[in-house]
Every structure is written in C-alpha cells, then in structure tokens.
C-alpha cells in the first residue's frame, strides 16, 4: 500500500548547485500533503551525492551502479516510490509555493486523469511553452531548421508547438515534458513506466504517446507553477548528445510512425532526420553558443499572434 501522498523523484547528473536549490525549494514550498523525496544519481562526479547526504538527510538517495541515462534513472525512482503518485522532476527547477500540493489535489479531484504537469516559467518569470502536439516527424524537422523564425506563424511548426493553446487554462493536452510530471500509481502499474529504449531523449514523447493510444488523459494545470532553468544536464556533452538525440528520433519514428508510411516516404523522412542531425552538428561547430539545447525551444508568444 502507498505510504505517502507523493513520491518526488529527482534525476541527478552533475548539477550539484541546481540540485541543492531544487531540494531546498521542495521542502520550503510543500505542505498539506505527505511526501518523500527520492534523488536518483546517475554517476555524478561533482559531489552531488555527498551534498545530498550532508544537507538533506531526509532524502532517499539512490546511486546507480551503472549509468542508466535519464529514462532509466527516472524508472529507478518510480520502482522505489511508496507514494500514491510519483512526480518526475528535473534537478534544474525551483518550486513556487504549493505547486506539488496543487497537483496532488487536482489528481485527487480528477480520478480519470492519468498524469499531469504544471505551468513552467523561465528564471525571468516569462512563460515556457511546455506543451507539444504529435504532428509527425516533418514538422519537427522544419522546427529544427528554424522555419518558425524564417516564416513566423506558419501552419507546419504551429501544429508541433500547439500554437493555439491557452496557457492560462486547465485542459487536457496530448503531450507534456517530464520536467515536472505527476503520474498516478495505477497508471504506471497498469501501463508501465518510461520506455527505456529511448534512454535520454524522447522518453516523455513516447510515454505521452503511449498513454494517448490507451485513451488515458494528460492534463496541464497552470495553478501549479515551477521555474525551470532548462537543459542543464543535456548540454554537458555536445556532439555526443546531438547524435544521441537523433538516434532517439529515428527510433521514435520507426516504432510509432514508419509502419503507417510507404517505403518512399520512410526514405524521405529518414533522409530528413539525417539532414537535421548534420544541421545541428554544423550549428554546434560554428556557433559561439555550445549548448545542444538552448531551452524550451518554442518561439515567443508574439510569434504565435
């Protein structure tokens, strides 16, 4: 039987200072529910586990014996969780007051909802566009080629960005990232955890897609607010992460889309993914900005209007 309301699972990899601030914000801004915090460290070399042991003795610390990557690390936390709900949380976030309390209350009041996520904001207080649509591979390729900047408000990338969404309204959505993602225990016990075939990237995409295939509801809950710095672990390894991202994109296409397409279209899409990868590698080499992922990636709200 579950032992608390909420198990907060923080995936940790070489983000010591962000992790410290994240944990502080959890304890400072969560009340009225019972919760546990589980930090799953994936082989950090920056002293993160030692910091957790010293400053946060109440945290359950799990240190992976081998590198499990992001998806496997989150699943290790879910397997250890005792809560009625599990909440996957990036280490580079800070909670606003009672964000987790509001998510738990929402899930308690809406028993037909499988998973949900809060509003995400940037460090300057502006909105992060965290909702995406399953628009297919071609719009994603166009997004990487910055079509939304060359052709603002175009119908191709707008489908991917779900440009018409109202971020001030609680509503069912097709996809939310796992930056802060609450899952009902019955959901992962019945339908499974994140798909470990994806390791680092597209774990959230594949999980939301799978839930949608099973007619399960995912909700966006703007009353709960979490501040997100963005991509602090992913940006540590440059070219290696670019290649891993596109390997995952190819895998996502092969698993969920390829069977729906004739061979000529499959070939065109695979070439498109390859071109996407080449473009990102060239961009990394020649740009002064060496971040693989620079943030949420969505165009500004003014671009949508």
Q: What is the per-residue pLDDT across 181-239, written as a single tens digit (0 to 9) for each?
A: 999 999 999 999 998 888 788 888 889 999 999 999 999 999 999 999 875 555 456 78
Residues of CATH 3.90.550.10 domain(s) within the chain? Answer: 4-136+162-234
- pLDDT number for residue 289: 57
Residues 210, 203: Cα–Cα separation, whole Å: 11
What percentage of the chain carries pLDDT values higher than 70?
89
Written as six digits, the tokens of 281 are 């590698």
What pLDDT does residue 22 have?
97
Indicate the fold that domain 4-136+162-234 takes in CATH: Spore Coat Polysaccharide Biosynthesis Protein SpsA; Chain A (3.90.550)
What's the CA angle centered on 80, arms 64 and 85, to 5 degrees? 130
For 21-42, what is the mean pLDDT? Answer: 97
Per-residue pLDDT at 155 exceeds 90: no
Band of residue 302 on the pLDDT scale cut at 50, 70, 90:
very low
Q: Is the pLDDT reported for residue 250 higher than 80?
A: yes
Over residues 253-273, mean pLDDT: 85
Average pLDDT on 7-33 reads 96
């Amino acid at each position: 039987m579950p032992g608390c309301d909420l198990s907060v699972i923080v995936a940790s990899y070489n983000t010591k200072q962000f992790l410290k601030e994240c944990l502080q914000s959890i304890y400072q801004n969560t009340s009225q529910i019972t919760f546990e915090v589980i930090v799953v460290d994936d082989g950090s070399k920056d002293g993160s586990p030692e910091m957790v042991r010293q400053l946060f003795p109440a945290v359950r610390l799990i240190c992976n014996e081998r590198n499990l990557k992001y998806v496997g690390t989150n699943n290790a936390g879910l397997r250890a969780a005792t809560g009625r709900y599990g909440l996957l949380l990036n280490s580079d976030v800070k909670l606003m007051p009672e964000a987790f309390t509001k998510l738990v209350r929402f899930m308690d009041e809406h028993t037909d909802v499988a998973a949900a996520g809060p509003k995400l904001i940037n460090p300057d207080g502006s909105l992060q566009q965290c909702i995406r649509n399953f628009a297919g591979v071609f719009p994603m390729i166009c997004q990487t080629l910055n079509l939304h900047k060359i052709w603002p408000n175009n119908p191709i990338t707008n489908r991917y960005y779900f440009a018409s969404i109202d971020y001030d309204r609680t509503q069912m959505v097709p996809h939310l990232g796992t930056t802060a993602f609450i899952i009902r225990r019955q959901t992962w016990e019945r339908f499974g955890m994140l798909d470990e075939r994806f390791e680092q990237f597209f774990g959230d995409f594949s999980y939301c897609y799978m839930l949608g295939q099973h007619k399960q509801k995912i909700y966006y809950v703007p009353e709960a607010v979490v501040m997100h710095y963005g991509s602090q672990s992913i940006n540590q390894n440059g070219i290696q992460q670019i290649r891993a991202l596109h390997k995952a994109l190819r895998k996502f296409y092969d698993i969920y889309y390829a069977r729906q397409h004739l061979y000529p279209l499959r070939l065109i899409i695979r070439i498109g993914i390859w071109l996407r990868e080449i473009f990102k590698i060239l961009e990394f080499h020649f740009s002064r900005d060496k971040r693989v992922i620079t943030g949420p990636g969505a165009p500004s709200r003014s671009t949508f209007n």
